[in-house]
Structure 1
Amino acid sequence: MKKITLYIVFTTICPNGFSQKTLIKYLSGTDKDHTVLWDFYCSDGRKSGEWTKIKVPSNWEMQGFGTYNYGHDKVKSNEQGIYRYNFDLVPVKDKRVFIVFEGSMTDTRVRINNELAGPVHQGGFYRFKYDIISLLKPSGKNLLEVTVDKTSANPSVNSAERKSDFWIFGGIFRPVYLEVVPNVYIDRVAVNAKADGSLEMDVYPRNLKGGETMVAQVQTVNGKDIGKPFTMKTDAVSDSFRLKSKFKSPLLWSPEFPNLYQVVVGVKKRNTLHKITQKFGFRTLELRKNAGFYVNGRRTILKGSNRHSFWPETGRTLSRGVHLKDIKLMKEMNMNAVRMSHYPPDAEFLDLCDSLGLYVINELTGWQAKYDGEVGHRLVKELVTRDVNHPSIIFWANGNEGGWNTDLDNDYAIYDPQSRTVIHPWAKFAGTDTKHYPDYNYMVKAADSGQEVFFPTEFMHGLYDGGAGAGLDDFWKQMLRHPHGAGGFIWSFVDESVIRTDQNGRYDGDGNHAPDGILGPHREKEASFYAIKEIWSPIYLALPPDGESFNGIIPIENRYTFANLNQCTFKYTLIKFSLPGEPSADSKIVSRGSLVSPNLGPGIKGTLTLPKFSVNYDALYLSAFGPDGLEVFTWSRVEKKPGYLAALKPMNKEKSVISAGENNNILKVRSDGIAYCFDNATGYLQKIEKANTSVSLSSGPALAGVKTTLKWFKHRAESGNYIVEANYQGADSLQVKWTFTAGQPVKLDYTYSQQTEADFMGITFEYPEEKITGMKYLGRGPYRVWKNRLKGQKFGVWRKDYNNSITGETWGYPEFKGYHSEVNWTVIENREAPFTVYTNDYNTYLQMLSPAREQDALKNNNVEPAFPKASLGFLRGISPIGTKFQAASSLGPESQKNKPSDKSISGTLFLDFR
């Protein structure tokens, strides 16, 4: 190799001497928010056939070039992008220079000053680099030319990467930079640091002459030395050297306590020739046959989701801010793990998983198809050598769902001294069962008789508003009773909907292929976010159901792997709610305080004791905060029966006379200046007349989803009140009694009996959707619920404007339409006159209209549950929701239809139109 004098402008200054450390010069920008314009030519599609400029890094489709394709498209574009960029030089002596690409889609040919830098790189998600020292001019400008073919010349690369169930893009989508090192340098290291304090490190130096010494010093991440340096003599023949040391009682790494260290490794000969710094964590991983997955000697349950590297405006080009947001959202959901689906992420994402604490399954690309051996062996090396030192990585995944080249399985251990387990996602392999989308019966069977360590790498498919948190509670109970269960990974983290630059900024999820996230494209939270947060809480509280007696002693269980609950904080808040229409705030705090944290180690059950409260309050909020000070969850409990609210409603000062009369088959009952109109032929309320307006509440109460016939309709004055009664018979029966009392809301008592199981049960009314503008209610919210997704919501006063959001297609959350739980009262805001309905019963659900149908709904209707054909419902039973692949009925006990009762069901509403 010839030696020349280089001229390079560096963005980083090394205070310890230029000869010692690797220097980096970015030729591109660093992320989606910091880009550099390069010359660009696109061969086909939009903005093709002319030289222009493009931001680097980026996916060119998102910059207005070429053609969009989803992996399922049978006909795909194959445009080519040509990039040019000139960079300057300043004198630097006796160095080697590499050009590094963090990721380029897909076949990438690199030229420096019209000379090839090396072989064409194939594979879109991997770091690769070329030694370009011999191609650089000693002075003046150097020309970088990069040709990127969106479609690979290798058919297996196309099959593995570009026929997949995700968006496929083109372009240099991760940073490009120069890496400058001395002639003698350390190429990489591979660290194996165990929980017992032992440390082994493979060091890969280059161009040794013989007689050099390897020196390593472990430090805290802020540079404080830990222990003494450890060294090893080198030779000029060996490819690598293994350094060893032992440390007493190091702080261990886990998601609960992500303790990191760093090691400074140098090669010396009289002076330090080159040194690098590598972060790592002490921790031990064990997959124990018929026992489970263990970290640092503790059985560990993985609670994770699958994550695409994705942002709607920039595709696969992300930023530290996006990575940080995603990890914080995962940890807010009480997740401790993430699966890289279905390709290696940005290295910076893994850095943050290390520092913030998140287990990672890192995956070689291969979606139901595999790389061939020629390209696969190289890509495994690129994957593992880049990521081997991250303590967050617990498994390597060799492709996905049949995309496994089994000839590559043994390659991972070549580069990984930790010998992490290699899995085949969705298969039984290497002592694991990672079955995708098991139904509830499979969960039961696995818990009863499964031999493998069980952790589905995809389950609870979250298409539209289905799955994810819906059905999870039943599934999780089976996972926790599995003698060697190890958790699971929900599909998926976000809706992968791009903002189409060719369609006026329209969000596109490719029909029903991509709207399957727990969050929207910009990380808008869906209801399942909060259900997961409660179900996966590492602190399990068994608050008694609303309405049951409560002595202030709460069963509690520590579901952390490492933390003691005495490292957590518990606080209570007592809440008083106002009534609808009162000028005061919706709620006020009447008392708050802290509780004594119980001394309970991982897996231990105990109790949490509340003090005796002497104040009058409506609801209890109980909050837990983890060792990191962040909220684990806030549980809420109602202390008073709903009906007391209606009795507290201020009455009119003067009672009015109640009157009734019939005309044209319509009964009108007048009370407090309001006329209530009933149809004698059906017995239904038809409208309410007040002052100069009408309220179009009608066609009820009817028995939800059941056809009945009016048997009799009666009305009479009784003890100063007026009574209207109706009796309906059919397959099921309904009895209705209206009581009008001057100065009070109208009381509606109803009793029904149903003989068969049903999607929903209760009574309904009609009200024109076009006249509804919003609602305010006291109940659990602010999100809608399903029968199999009741957890996660908080009891309080909530207000929502009307919207027609379709989960996964539009993102105006929380959705307005749907079922709402434990409603005590609701104000129906409308264009006529607002009115309030109070309930007198625990566990009343409000049906607010029916959700709009998804544009690309599945034919099986799994994720479009049944609703009563009515506008408003006051229900005792509601529908469950399924997933993309399973009907609700296959998801467990909570997901079944509502069973009939051997007794009649009675309820009471108070309607206030005053």
Structure 2
Amino acid sequence: MECERLTPGSGRLEPRAALSSDAPSLDLNGAWRFRLSPVATVPEDFADPRYDDAAWAELPVPAHWPLHGHGAPAYTNVSYPFPVDPPHVPTENPTGDYRRAFDLPEGWNGGRLRFDGVESYAKVWLNGHELGFTTGSRLPAEFDAGPWLKPGRNVLAVRVHQWSAASYLEDQDMWWLPGIFRDVTLTRSAADVFVHASYEDGRGTLSFDGTGALDLPELGVTGLRPGERVTVAAEPWSAGTPRLYEAVLRAPGETVRLRVGFRTVAIEDGVLLANGRPLLLKGVNRHEFHPLSGRAVTYATMREDVLLMKRHNVNAVRTSHYPPHPAFLDLCDELGLWVIDECDLETHGFGQVGWRNNPSDDPRWEEACLDRMRRMVERDKNHPSVIMWSLGNEAGVGRNLGVMAEWARERDPSRPLHYEGDRSCEHTDVYSRMYASHAEVEAIGRGAEDPLDDPELDARRRAMPFLQCEYAHAMGNGPGGLAEYQELFERYPRLAGGFVWEWIDHGLAHPSLGYAYGGDYGEPVHDGNFVVDGLVFPDRTPSPGLLDLKKVFEPVAFTFSGTSVTVRSKDAFHDLSSLSFSGQVEAEGEPVASFPLEVPAGGGEVKLPALPAGEGERWLTVRAVLARDEPWADAGHEVAWAQVPIDVPYPGREDLRVSPRRTFPPAVREAPAKASAGRPGREAPVPLDGGEIQVGGAVFDPVTGRLTRLFGLDADGPRLELWRAPIDNDRYSGAEFRWRLLGLHRLTHRVDAVEPGDTLTVRTRTAPAATDLGIRATWTWTASGDALDLRVDLVPEGDWTEPIPRLGLALTLPAAPGPVTWYGLGPGEAYPDTGLATRIGRWAATVEEMQTPYVHPQENGHRAAVRWAELAGVRITGDPVFGLTARPWSTAALDAAAHRPDLVPDGRLHLTLDLAQHGIGTAACGPGTLPAYELHARPATFRLRFEPS
């Protein structure tokens, strides 16, 4: 089949920059006639302008045809969905034929047909004349239309094959979605320009390659000719201060407008520099995606992405794993993001066959690989936001990568080259890795990484800056360990930061499933929900992971000491002059004082006013907000904050420090039990008719020792709970398998004794079947006026070698309207190594609002360090704190659910009151939970108080 040829295209014009020109253009987007065939070998008679397409369907362009009822999407991460037999593809090759009639404006002559993105192979005809074909799905292609245009009606015909030889270069962990998914334009613009705008020693240097003359009026530049160089008093461009200058290129037959940013990227002594200053990338990986339209994204969607990134302290984006729509880079220039622009190349699936016949190392594919690099660089070369070119992603190693690198260095020596897949870094300027552990990142930061076998390559690599092009896999509940990574990035100058994987969950909108993932369309080969691994949900609602990332990426640092706070900027390119600062004191979650803080632009130590004293916990929160409107957020937008206890009624407050992980200081977490002085006298258990036992306002079953009524409410529990509905990190790391093998999801509960006396004592043993492991629990219930005190003493038995998911108590009550109110960390969920965005306060939410809507249901919604909570007419108080999860369905129902609509409220309020939970980590792809956040079965004591609210 002709779509199996290795040549990347024919009939195409030379690649050039994406430019804004006053030359006439005709937008050919809109409704096209469309026909889908199951095979590629269909007659080409439809290209005849006289062909009758009245029976064809209509399909919007840009769009993917599987999202409009023609075929179905398919998702794979690594595996090719067809046999690995390059360059051959299946005979069953969905083929879409497109037709578009348009009228040429009067006086029009000449012009180019421009396709900005077609997946994966497109053959083009104009008025019956074949113009050529193109591959490289995420790259533009232009054809000379001039000889075949005619006055009046013209007919454009395009044949698109889903599978082609080029598909072997596009195995990029995403939905396979064919079609014309970016803009189609007829333009009379032919200009090309390469502007060079560097910045050094407080001055800008400007020159350009191309034809015509360049004006930059704001800096007094007029009539600059190609090859001429001028020095100007320019302000530098950076992500924090994206200063742009409007330039005009007067080219033959047209005028081009472009925005120029002066900046220089360099590497010195193993440190990545921008404008002479160390550059720390606080980045995310971004696929183009929308739940309704796939990779056919609108300008509004692109702008929303950039604004969300900026508002969450993200300063960099890697365009994984292909060049984005050119308008996205315009937005990065305008609003300020550092960009690694990645070539449309990935051959990951060859790794499953031992990298045999990998195109990256096959001379037959050299032209195709180089073609993709050239088209990216030429299109995007004028963007100041683009600071590195990436050769591609997960394409193994080989000679063709060297060819691409050699060409790119010659064409554009101003930008370093990136590629992760070759540990030797033979063709790159930075050392890049994916998912390196914290320990390995620290070793690299110190220059103590394991050496390469080749001493010369090893010495070269050790002189490079290091970045994690992917880390902190944000799949489902997570990622954990963010603060620890960021601390390393900030500690070692060699570490240039990294890019969290990834920006958005790729859940496709589905009428019955909510959002679909791999396998939901009947694909025989798929990778399930691995495509749902983003910091924002498919509708672009920020996940808890993005909120945590915002906290970790804060550009301001606060350090408290005695009666002052020291404030400093963590942005090498930006001082604090754009921010205003304030403080607020809360007592038991209620505001008692607030005040402004006068912080110099350069930062420094700021004296705090006298803080009001009083009873109960008192916390000081300081905030940094935008002092004025910015292009990406309004004045008052919170940029950074910190919180410190000033009057916590626990010992050890002289050692209190602000932790980047937002955990409690040791004095709070390890506080001894509170004294019971001042509480009403205790009441002994009372036998009731039928044998039930009453302790204060609670009634217990005399056989099981479990609650049956609590303050008049129908209750069931509590029982010891060691299980949680596995998160994605549990599933993909193997932890879920080990926990299920151990039987933690099907515990048995044995009652050894129910002992009424001055108190009610219940002795139980909780254990998984088929093991000799168990946990003995002594439950001591004490009535105290209207309150009910519970002490649970836990003693593990056997050799518990594996961490356990949770240690908590499960209790159900009747579902009740009204909010849950609590005092502790909030407003969102928090786990041992997440929840950095949460802060101590008094919070309220409905039970529905307390559920985090992960596309693939899993453990979620845990509120941490809760002092007290009120819900369903009951107040629960920790001694000193507990973890709270409140759900309208059981853990078993959550465990069994595959999609959100599977979860249906059952009329009960399911509470889990946790002593501890296992950490989150990022082991769905990357390192597991750090040892400090592992939960192991050890002796423990848990105290709670229940009383009517």
Other structure's SS at 1:434 match: strand
CA 1:710–1:313 in structure 2 vs 1: closer, same or farther (change >3 Å)?
closer
How do 1:552-701 residues align onto structure 2 when only pairs under 5 Å count?
552-575=563-586, 589-600=591-602, 607-614=605-612, 618-625=618-625, 628=630, 629=635, 630-637=637-644, 660-662=685-687, 666=691, 668-669=693-694, 671=696, 674-677=697-700, 679=702, 684-688=705-709, 694-699=714-719
2:119: which partner in 1? 105
1:176: which partner in 2? 184
CA shift digits 1:111-145 (9 cap, x unpaired): 2221123x2111111111122222111x2212222
Q: Does 1:321 align with 2:300?
A: yes
CA 1:877–1:426 in structure 2 vs 1: closer, same or farther (change >3 Å)?
farther
1: CA distance between counterparts of 2:777 and 2:792?
Answer: 7
1: CA distance between counterparts of 2:393 and 2:116?
Answer: 22
CA contact (8 A) 1:291 1:453 kept: yes
Q: Does 1:188 align with 2:234?
A: no
1:296: which partner in 2? 275
2:788: which partner in 1? 746
- Please point out which of 138, 150, 154 is paired with 1:142: 154
**Amino acid aligned to 1:845:** G
CA 1:61–1:311 in structure 2 vs 1: closer, same or farther (change >3 Å)?
same
2:453: which partner in 1? none
2:657: which partner in 1? none
Unaligned runs of 5+ in 2: 1-19, 43-52, 83-89, 349-358, 450-461, 520-527, 651-667, 725-743, 766-772, 900-908
- Please point out which of 13, 36, 42 is paired with 2:36: 42
CA contact (8 A) 1:626 1:632 kept: yes
Q: Post-superposition shift, 1:24? A: 4.1
CA contact (8 A) 1:385 1:415 kept: no
2:85: which partner in 1? none
Other structure's SS at 2:191 match: strand
- Please point out which of 220, 229, 233 is paired with 2:222: 229
**Amino acid aligned to 1:554:** V
Higher share in helix = 2
1:166: which partner in 2? 174
Q: Post-superposition shift, 1:496? A: 1.0
**Amino acid aligned to 1:821:** A
CA shift digits 1:253-298 (9 cap, x unpaired): 1111111112212247xxxx5331221211110123x431111111
Moved more, 725-734 or 351-360: 725-734
**Amino acid aligned to 2:565:** I
TM-score normalized by the length of structure 2:
0.75
Q: Does 1:792 align with 2:846?
A: no
CA contact (8 A) 2:852 2:861 kept: no
2: CA distance between counterparts of 1:639 and 1:794?
Answer: 14
How do 1:462-861 residues align onto structure 2 when only pairs under 5 Å count?
462-467=474-479, 470-500=480-510, 507-510=516-519, 511-542=528-559, 551-575=562-586, 589-600=591-602, 607-614=605-612, 618-625=618-625, 628=630, 629=635, 630-637=637-644, 660-662=685-687, 666=691, 668-669=693-694, 671=696, 674-677=697-700, 679=702, 684-688=705-709, 694-699=714-719, 715-716=756-757, 723-725=759-761, 736-742=779-785, 744-751=786-793, 759=804, 763-767=808-812, 775-796=820-841, 797-802=843-848, 808-809=854-855, 817-829=860-872, 834-842=873-881, 844-848=882-886, 850=891, 852-853=894-895
Other structure's SS at 1:827 match: strand
1: CA distance between counterparts of 2:221 and 2:441?
Answer: 51
CA contact (8 A) 2:75 2:517 kept: no
Q: Does 1:388 align with 2:381?
A: yes
2: CA distance between counterparts of 1:712 and 1:422?
Answer: 66
Q: Post-superposition shift, 1:642? A: 8.7
Other structure's SS at 1:400 match: coil
**Amino acid aligned to 1:592:** S
1: CA distance between counterparts of 2:645 and 2:290?
Answer: 40
CA contact (8 A) 1:426 1:458 kept: no
CA contact (8 A) 1:642 1:840 kept: no
Other structure's SS at 1:597 match: coil
Q: Post-superposition shift, 1:816? A: 8.3
2:732: which partner in 1? none
Q: Post-superposition shift, 1:765? A: 3.9
Other structure's SS at 2:239 match: coil
Moved more, 789-798 or 125-134: 789-798
CA shift digits 1:558-598 (9 cap, x unpaired): 32122223443212233456xxxxxxxxx764433311214
Q: Does 1:245 align with 2:230?
A: yes
Q: Post-superposition shift, 1:887? A: 7.8
2: CA distance between counterparts of 1:166 and 1:702?
Answer: 35
2: CA distance between counterparts of 1:910 and 1:479?
Answer: 43
Q: Post-superposition shift, 1:413? A: 3.2
**Amino acid aligned to 2:716:** S
Q: Does 1:338 align with 2:340?
A: no
How do 1:85-96 residues align onto structure 2 when only pairs under 5 Å count?
85-92=100-107, 96=110
1:348: which partner in 2? 327
Unaligned runs of 5+ in 1: 1-19, 30-35, 206-213, 220-224, 233-240, 544-549, 578-586, 718-722, 858-869
CA contact (8 A) 1:255 1:358 kept: yes
1:80: which partner in 2? 95
Q: Does 1:912 align with 2:947?
A: yes
CA contact (8 A) 1:518 1:525 kept: yes
Q: Does 1:411 align with 2:407?
A: yes
CA shift digits 1:825-864 (9 cap, x unpaired): 22343xxxx322112314x32244648237679xxxxxxx
CA 1:116–1:414 in structure 2 vs 1: closer, same or farther (change >3 Å)?
farther
How do 1:425-444 residues align onto structure 2 when only pairs under 5 Å count?
425=421, 427-429=423-425, 430-444=428-442
1:400: which partner in 2? 393
CA 1:715–1:281 in structure 2 vs 1: closer, same or farther (change >3 Å)?
same
2: CA distance between counterparts of 1:701 and 1:398?
Answer: 49
**Amino acid aligned to 1:168:** W
Bigger radius of gyration, 1 or 2? 1
Corresponding residue pairs, total: 788
Other structure's SS at 2:28 match: coil
Moved more, 659-668 or 564-573: 659-668
Q: Post-superposition shift, 1:192? A: 3.5
Q: Does 1:122 align with 2:150?
A: no
Other structure's SS at 1:58 match: coil
RMSD: 3.9
Moved more, 503-512 or 457-466: 503-512
**Amino acid aligned to 2:611:** F
**Amino acid aligned to 1:27:** D
CA contact (8 A) 2:32 2:61 kept: yes
CA contact (8 A) 1:638 1:795 kept: no
CA shift digits 1:495-515 (9 cap, x unpaired): 1122358x8875224513201
2:741: which partner in 1? none
CA contact (8 A) 1:497 1:514 kept: yes
2:243: which partner in 1? 259
* Identity between Structure 1 and Structure 2 (%): 21
1:897: which partner in 2? 935
CA shift digits 1:587-642 (9 cap, x unpaired): 764433311214546xxxx5444321337585433211257554213334566659
Other structure's SS at 1:512 match: helix
2: CA distance between counterparts of 1:105 and 1:766?
Answer: 53
